[in-house]
Structure 1
Amino acid sequence: MQKAIILFVVMTISLGIFAQSADIVPKPVSVVKKEGVFKITDNTKVLFNASDETEKEFSDLAKDLLKSATGNTPEFVAPTAPKEGNILIQLNNPLDTKIGNEGYTLSIQNDRVFLNANTTAGLFYGMHSIWQLLTVNDGTTLPCMDITDYPRFGWRGLHLDVSRHFMPVEFIYKYIDYIALNKMNVFHWHLVDDQGWRIEIKKYPKLTDVGAWRADREDLDWNSRKEPVKENEPKYGGFYSQEDVKAIVEYARKKHVTVIPEIEMPAHVMSALAAYPEFSCTGEYKPVPPGGVWPITHIFCAGKEETFNFLEDVLTEVMELFLSTYIHIGGDEATKTEWEKCELCQKRMTDEGLKDEHELQAYFIKRIEKFLNKNGRQLIGWDEILEGGLDPTATIMSWRGSDPGIRAAKAGHDVVMSPTSHCYFDYYQGDPSLEPKAFGGNITLKKVYNYEPVPAELSIDEAKHIIGAQANIWTEYMPNGRHVEYMIMPRMSALSEVLWSPKDAKDWGDFSKRMESQYKRFDKLGINYATSAFQVSAKPELDPANKSIKIELSTEAYDPTIYYTTDGSKPTANSKKYTQPFSISKSGTVKAVVIQDGELKTEPLATDFFIHKAIACKVDQKFPNSKSYESTGEYALVNGIKGTRNHADGNWKGFVGNDFVGTVDLGKETEFSAVKVGVLQNIGAWIFYPSQMIVEGSNDGKTFKKIGSVKNKVSISDGERQIQELVVNKKALARYLRVTVKNLGECPKGHAGAGEPAWLFVDEIIVE
């Protein structure tokens, strides 16, 4: 059968020499630059004969891409033009084994262009490279080069949680476009969680009649939302009909994106149990929670046959809607206290010879896996499904770091890497003071780019089980599509290069330079992307001898022009231009920005520095801090630098269970009027404000007299990340100051860690 041939009639114009690296993201496997350009004009025609429906689908997508780049849709006519002066796009016959199923070759010459691939997927990705080259130039010009390109990994995924916040169908289409734009190929659709059931199941209509709606608490912080008190109060929610799902799956298929549904079990199912409480252990009705839930104890009953009948019915309808080989069943964060008390669950354990509830979960997962396998599908789940044993045919998604993925690969499981350290795009991507509220952490564009999915601990054969990676988008703090866009772009482009390009081809400088063009493409498409990579951070270094601070400014942006101030004013193009590190010898606020083409790329990041009477003095601690939160060096608590709301920023000392007791040697008897200490609260990380701070003075370092104290007045139940400064204002004279900050001791009742040791975080001891 003759394969499709697409001819683009073009005119060759003036020659020129272009940069050595093709301006394409993700970076191609091989690029050989040549002299010259190829120009598409208003007379360009596309000569095409489609031999089957798949090739016709590709031609339609090619038209859309060319129109997007050039502003015109070339006329498609019969392929009668000669190769000279044209662009030839065709499927290989015989196949090119080097480029595989998704690769392509692209040769742009002075008088002709060739795009070849083994499949329409390869042609599709090649057309995206042509689109990128056109959009970075004038919309019609292609620089001459030869490209050979194919992906490193077969699973290049992006996840989206639509349970915490429902995303309209129109945005789901756009999301798939973004996946395709970045040459990724998996859309992991998280359709079910405690806060909402989002897919229509005809046999169980209450799943969407009841489970898709929750009390509207959108005006409150996610973790501060109380259960509804009235059944008729305003509701928030939504769901996708089966017709919606079919249309979305088909749309994705045409763009070579596989949609993998996630139907959570046995936990994260409070929305399902609100509709059908009989499938829980207790049978108790609990409403769909409007916000955060922890621990997750209200889960499916593993002892009832009715539970498995229900899940098989649900999965049967799901499999009818989705084309994917994989079905994701969750399997994470199941607290098994109900199973421990449930007579039916305990009987199941006895009947099946299971020694504990972990093995009961393994039984649960294996039973679902057998059902999926019987229907020609494969099970994939979060790495908790490893607990209690698992058949090697199951695929693991490793989110709790790399270790579960390493264990799974060594045991013969295929693994998709998705660790919180690099792939959770609900984490901050810049300084929290300049970013919309996020779940926590900090994963910058550069950190994503530096991720390596294959752990060094694996042998060559074991490494073959790492089939790819994906980014996860949990939407507790993303109420709409524009916010989601902001969180995924441009980090998605960095991950796409990690997963597509050869490992040894990674070059942060080259990537950040190419991202300048990628940002312009985002602008062209109207994407609400983040410019966090342009934020300027101030890296301080204490000079103890001179009691000053040397400051180095840096940003992830390519070849930035940085302007700064030290008096707290907003920098402009008339401010000092940063050329080298500088020193400050008095307290001040440094603000710095990148200005590009006269445009301020982000708001300035403000960093306060404190030159005070205790700076660079010796501090003795009574109790050691955690090695994980060491802060920075000998003068960590008296270096003039305060911590941010990010407890892992390197400026905090963390104490688990213990008080902070530090004695500062001022070197000589010194008069002062105030002692200040910064403390942090982030109850989600088990970090609580102290109960009080006590300041004592001494001249001999042995006998101390109380100078003053201050009690914490902020509620320890406040879930917001926040910082306060504890201050004792009193004039005194002393050489030694003993500062005691009292740890709360234990996490309070009602907290997930109730009874466990609480964390105390302190930063700078300021003496004025």
Structure 2
Amino acid sequence: MSDTALPAIVPQPRLLHPSDSALTTSDVATALSEQLTTALAPEAYRLTVTAEGATLAAGSEAGLRNGRATWTQLLDHATTDEDGRTTVPGVVVEDEPRHAWRGLMVDCARYFTPVAELEKLIDALALHRMNRLHLHLTDDQGWRVEIDGWPRLTEVGSTRPRTLAGHHRSAENSGGEPQWTTEPHSGHYTQEELRALVRYGADRGVTLVPEIDLPGHMQAAVAAYPELGNLDQPVRVRETWGISEHVLAPTETAFRFVRDVLTQVVDIFPSEWIHVGGDECPTVEWRSSPVAQEFMAAHGLSTERQIQREFLKVAREVLSAAGRTLVGWDEILEAEPPADAITMLWRRGKDVTDAEQHGLRCVYACSDTLYLDHYQADPEHEPLALGGRSTLEDVYRTQELPAGASQEQRDLLLGVQGQLWREYVPTSEHLEYMLFPRLCALSEVAWGHRTSWEDFRQRLQQHLPRLAARGIGYRQLD
């Protein structure tokens, strides 16, 4: 086998070269032998396929799963003769990921994402050797997780009577009457459904990281329980997009709510990491609320922004007591985050240097290239999207570390994550169109062994039929 005949594998292994001969077997299911060895790092693996057989060695079960994903892709290049004997290309693969966090976030709050679609995504993540699925479970437009003792969260907060049709900026800029869908949108997960999904992910090496966004992005919760908010009158689950001013009030009721919710979330999700949002939290209601102003005076707070810090403190107390780690979007850097927190760097211009100032570990999730809800080409020829533009090549060329990054900065960066916010992604078909093949490029960024754009695009041409064979929809290459 020549170098040019090497099988197309995505993401690209660190070392991949042909062996002397291919493996021919009458039973592919038993062709691979596995072993654990302390000679390899936990996620590293060595896969060897020769005429004598296929062997996989790894430093842990996680490494074995990574190797199995590569073996699965090799089998896509196998051929079967008339006698039912299968020939698998002979290769030697030695591989280890550069980044420990290789993630995707899916917004289940704006549009409910059915369990079957999440299972399909977990399978796709495992195929691409990615290991985190971050579920954005709550927002202004919908509360998606069942919480015992707070039944109205799903009875009321999981349903919006209607949804804005078209782009919310168009409605704002035109000054005209916005257009609406005629159907309500609803859906939530029971705790047992989420536990089963956690097990499904664990079996495939994908950890589910839940997010309960607080203290902002809480209009659905406040609609369900007005006493959680700052106003005397009730509000509805938000029907349009953008940022809501309806945030949690700094009261014992709201703090008890946070404790109850996070305690149950910790019980559902064994993940070491629990995401509490912390982004886009307006202080308008706190400035005009006598209750909030009294809270500030009683706790010696000088600015309304420090109220957000108090919510983070409560969240951290719950998570720390359970042996978990608080994760938040990079706005938590402005709210005096706990020293053991992890920040997700999403805003333009934010990188590991910002996290370094606080000594925090971080995940690079930059909206410039890793927001997979952005347009993929000229908006005139693409489905409606949030805005911006992030092409397949843009994703592939993501630079998660600044030039000349120090070893300390490299140590603080846990990895990378793509985000799919679903304001303009109402269906499963649209979701896959937005994710693939950009997720394939993201996997190679996350794995850390990029070659060249031209080489990747060539491998991707051979990889796309692999997606199609698994029923995964994708956008055709330009």
User: Normalising to structure 1: TM-score of the pair?
Assistant: 0.59
Query: Aligned pair 1:105/2:42, yes or no?
Result: no
Query: In structure 2, do the counterparts of structure 1 residues 45 and 143 end up closer, same or farther at CA, with 3 Å as the change threshold?
Result: closer
DSSP 3-state at the match of 1:115: strand
- Aligned residue number for residue 287 of structure 1: 236
Is the 8 Å Cα contact of residues 430 and 442 (structure 1) preserved in structure 2?
yes
List aligned pairs for 1:210-289, cutoff 5 A.
210-217=156-163, 219=165, 221-222=167-168, 224=171, 234-289=183-238
Query: In structure 2, do the counterparts of structure 1 residues 433 and 417 end up closer, same or farther at CA, with 3 Å as the change threshold?
Result: same
Q: Deviations over 1:28-65 (max 9, x none)?
A: 11123233211232x5562xxxxxxxxxxxxxxxxxxx
DSSP 3-state at the match of 2:79: coil
CA distance in 2, matches of 1:138, 1:280: 62
Is the 8 Å Cα contact of residues 341 and 360 (structure 2) preserved in structure 1?
yes
Q: What CA RMSD, in Å, does the superposition of the two structures yield over aligned residues?
A: 2.1
DSSP 3-state at the match of 1:387: helix
* Deviation of the 1:367 alpha carbon: 2.6
CA distance in 2, matches of 1:498, 1:157: 11
List aligned pairs for 1:54-93, cutoff 5 A.
87-92=32-37
- Aligned residue number for residue 468 of structure 1: 415
- Aligned residue number for residue 530 of structure 1: 475
DSSP 3-state at the match of 1:454: coil
- Aligned residue number for residue 385 of structure 1: 332
AA matched with 1:119:
S
Specify which of 167, 171, 192 is matched with residue 113 of structure 2.
Answer: 167
List aligned pairs for 1:647-666, cutoff 5 A.
none
Specify which of 34, 45, 50 is matched with residue 19 of structure 2.
Answer: 34
CA distance in 1, matches of 2:191, 2:178: 30
* Deviation of the 1:388 alpha carbon: 3.4
Larger helix proportion of the pair = 2
Query: Aligned pair 1:519/2:464, yes or no?
Result: yes
List aligned pairs for 1:57-456, cutoff 5 A.
87-92=32-37, 95-97=38-40, 100-138=41-79, 140-217=86-163, 219=165, 221-222=167-168, 224=171, 234-294=183-243, 296-302=244-250, 304-403=251-350, 405-456=352-403
CA distance in 2, matches of 1:197, 1:346: 28
DSSP 3-state at the match of 1:317: helix
Higher RCO structure, 1 or 2 (CA under 8 Å, sep 6+): 2
Q: Does 181-190 or 403-412 show the bigger shift? A: 403-412
User: Normalising to structure 2: TM-score of the pair?
Assistant: 0.93
List aligned pairs for 1:468-507, cutoff 5 A.
468-502=415-449, 505-507=450-452
Is the 8 Å Cα contact of residues 351 and 401 (structure 2) preserved in structure 1?
no
Query: In structure 2, do the counterparts of structure 1 residues 362 and 530 end up closer, same or farther at CA, with 3 Å as the change threshold?
Result: same
* Deviation of the 1:411 alpha carbon: 2.1
* Deviation of the 1:88 alpha carbon: 2.5
DSSP 3-state at the match of 1:126: helix
- Aligned residue number for residue 83 of structure 2: none
* Deviation of the 1:512 alpha carbon: 0.9
AA matched with 1:25:
V
CA distance in 2, matches of 1:184, 1:269: 30
% identity of equivalent residues: 36
Is the 8 Å Cα contact of residues 3 and 17 (structure 2) preserved in structure 1?
no
CA distance in 1, matches of 2:451, 2:353: 23
Q: Deviations over 1:539-596 (max 9, x none)?
A: xxxxxxxxxxxxxxxxxxxxxxxxxxxxxxxxxxxxxxxxxxxxxxxxxxxxxxxxxx
AA matched with 1:108:
V
The runs of 4+ residues in structure 1 deviating greater than 3 Å are 217-229
Q: Deviations over 1:685-717 (max 9, x none)?
A: xxxxxxxxxxxxxxxxxxxxxxxxxxxxxxxxx
CA distance in 1, matches of 2:397, 2:347: 18
AA matched with 2:72:
W
AA matched with 2:246:
H
DSSP 3-state at the match of 2:21: strand
CA distance in 2, matches of 1:457, 1:311: 41
Is the 8 Å Cα contact of residues 130 and 142 (structure 1) preserved in structure 2?
no
DSSP 3-state at the match of 1:39: strand
AA matched with 1:375:
A
Query: Aligned pair 1:23/2:13, yes or no?
Result: no
User: Which protein has the larger Cα radius of gyration, Structure 1 or Structure 2?
Assistant: 1
Query: In structure 2, do the counterparts of structure 1 residues 278 and 457 end up closer, same or farther at CA, with 3 Å as the change threshold?
Result: farther
AA matched with 2:464:
Y
CA distance in 1, matches of 2:153, 2:277: 18
Query: In structure 2, do the counterparts of structure 1 residues 131 and 404 end up closer, same or farther at CA, with 3 Å as the change threshold?
Result: closer
Query: In structure 2, do the counterparts of structure 1 residues 431 and 18 end up closer, same or farther at CA, with 3 Å as the change threshold?
Result: same
* Deviation of the 1:437 alpha carbon: 1.1
AA matched with 1:396:
T
DSSP 3-state at the match of 1:35: coil
Is the 8 Å Cα contact of residues 262 and 318 (structure 2) preserved in structure 1?
no
Q: Does 213-222 or 311-320 show the bigger shift? A: 213-222
Query: In structure 2, do the counterparts of structure 1 residues 120 and 301 end up closer, same or farther at CA, with 3 Å as the change threshold?
Result: same
* Deviation of the 1:357 alpha carbon: 1.4
Is the 8 Å Cα contact of residues 301 and 307 (structure 1) preserved in structure 2?
yes
List aligned pairs for 1:596-675, cutoff 5 A.
none
* Deviation of the 1:221 alpha carbon: 4.5
DSSP 3-state at the match of 1:381: strand
Query: In structure 2, do the counterparts of structure 1 residues 520 and 44 end up closer, same or farther at CA, with 3 Å as the change threshold?
Result: closer
CA distance in 2, matches of 1:434, 1:397: 32
* Deviation of the 1:228 alpha carbon: 12
Query: In structure 2, do the counterparts of structure 1 residues 441 and 496 end up closer, same or farther at CA, with 3 Å as the change threshold?
Result: same
DSSP 3-state at the match of 2:319: helix
Q: Does 505-514 or 258-267 show the bigger shift? A: 505-514
Specify which of 398, 406, 409 is matched with residue 459 of structure 1.
Answer: 406
Q: Deviations over 1:382-440 (max 9, x none)?
A: 11111132222111011002425421123210001101111000001122222111111
Is the 8 Å Cα contact of residues 215 and 228 (structure 1) preserved in structure 2?
no
Is the 8 Å Cα contact of residues 383 and 405 (structure 1) preserved in structure 2?
no
* Deviation of the 1:21 alpha carbon: 4.7
AA matched with 1:265:
L
CA distance in 1, matches of 2:76, 2:5: 18
Is the 8 Å Cα contact of residues 362 and 386 (structure 1) preserved in structure 2?
no
CA distance in 1, matches of 2:376, 2:179: 34
Q: Deviations over 1:227-281 (max 9, x none)?
A: 999xxx8521110111111110110011111101100111111100000010111
Query: In structure 2, do the counterparts of structure 1 residues 404 and 110 end up closer, same or farther at CA, with 3 Å as the change threshold?
Result: closer
AA matched with 1:174:
K
AA matched with 2:454:
G
Is the 8 Å Cα contact of residues 101 and 363 (structure 2) preserved in structure 1?
yes
Is the 8 Å Cα contact of residues 164 and 178 (structure 2) preserved in structure 1?
no
CA distance in 1, matches of 2:147, 2:32: 48
AA matched with 1:19:
T
CA distance in 2, matches of 1:417, 1:313: 30
Query: Aligned pair 1:508/2:456, yes or no?
Result: no
AA matched with 1:473:
L
Any stretches of 5+ residues in structure 2 without a counterpart?
Answer: 81-85
